[in-house]
Amino acid sequence: MLKVTGLKKVFRVEKMFGAGKTEIAAIDGVSFEAKEGSILAIVGESGSGKTTIARCLAGIETPDGGEMVYNGNKLEFDTKEKRAAVQYVFQDTFGSLNPRMKIRDAIAEPIEFHFGKKSADLRTSVDACLESVGIKAETGNKYPHELSGGQRQRVVIARALSMNPRLLIADEPVSSLDVSVQAQILSLFQKLNREKGISIIFITHDLRIVKSLAHDIIVLKNGKIEERGGVADVYREPKSPYTRLLLSSIPGNQAGSEKIHGS
Ligand SMILES: Nc1ncnc2c1ncn2[C@@H]1O[C@H](COP(=O)(O)OP(=O)(O)OP(=O)(O)O)[C@@H](O)[C@H]1O
Ligand SMILES: [Mg+2]
């Protein structure tokens, strides 16, 4: 359903000591597909280009090359409907929510804007969104700072879901949460995928969480795809030395390190 071909993004940055400008190819000819109804994990070390891919898919960055095709059409953001179909969840929940807006209003606002719902109808939709992420309706009367990190991430997910997206892009959505809260949010993503059939692109640097979460994986290194495949296959038999290295750094994971020593 989402087909990305040869995606490229170059940043022009100042060199140190005023030595002019230099170019960084943040992503350099990246191609992948995210299958309908599946969870695709994008992993890689810091600076490998994960967020740049997410920002291109979100329309926040304009790619310098390549194509993004969604259900046979170029991925565009020029109408309300197109913007609604693909939704994003980022790591920074505080930055994603207006501190002066009650949770209920933060979710109501885009629903009103996109679907023109009013009053009772709007209230029902907001409650349904909160309920779908395990937040009680009365919590909607609170402000963002009155919630825990995990609750805030649920609210951000609820707001994304209010647009009835077919594709959800989540960039490090659990990285700032405690391990036990991480597990709850991860099972929420799985539930949304299974029960609502929402396709998810899940970006993380933490390979521990990918194995039980995602169906497919791509491994990025320096803006290029190093390895791709089904999660079970890649974890069992990583082809690239870099993937083996990443897997071997997971505490308690011996498979990757044996391969490294054996190679
Ligand atoms: N706006 C920008 N201007 C200049 N360089 C940038 C910009 N955004 C990203 N980069 C550079 O592009 C490369 C990829 O960055 P990106 O944020 O996509 O990595 P990442 O894989 O998400 O890393 P992390 O795991 O730390 O979030 C890095 O070298 C980064 O410094
Ligand atoms: Mg990032």
* Sequence spans of domains, the chain: 2-228
The CATH fold assigned to 2-228 is: Rossmann fold (3.40.50)
pLDDT value at position 255? 52
Residue 110 token pair: 């885009």
Q: Which residues surround ligand 2, an ion (CB under 5 A)?
A: 50-51
12 CA: nearest ligand 1 atom: 4
Binding site membership of 192 for ligand 1 (Cβ less than 6 Å): no
pLDDT value at position 259? 44
Closest CA to 31 of 3, 63, 65: 3
203 CA: nearest ligand 1 atom: 22
pLDDT value at position 260? 43
CA 192 to chain centre: 14
CA distance 27 to 116: 38
Tell me the one-letter amino acid at 47.
G
Instruction: Kindly tell me the burial class for residue 167, based on how many C-beta atoms sit within 10 Å of its own C-beta (0-12, 13-18, 19 or more).
Output: buried
pLDDT value at position 180? 87
The residue contributing the CA closest to ligand 1 atom 8 is 52
pLDDT value at position 189? 93
Binding site membership of 263 for ligand 1 (Cβ less than 6 Å): no
pLDDT value at position 258? 45
First to last CA, the chain: 37
Low-confidence ranges of the chain (pLDDT < 50): 256-263
CA distance 250 to 234: 14
Candidate of 13, 50, 218, 221 to mutate for ligand 1, largest count of ligand atoms within 8 Å of Cβ: 50
The residue contributing the CA closest to ligand 1 atom 28 is 47
pTM of the entire predicted model = 0.90
Spacing, Cα 24 to ligand 1 middle (Å): 9
CA distance 28 to 9: 7
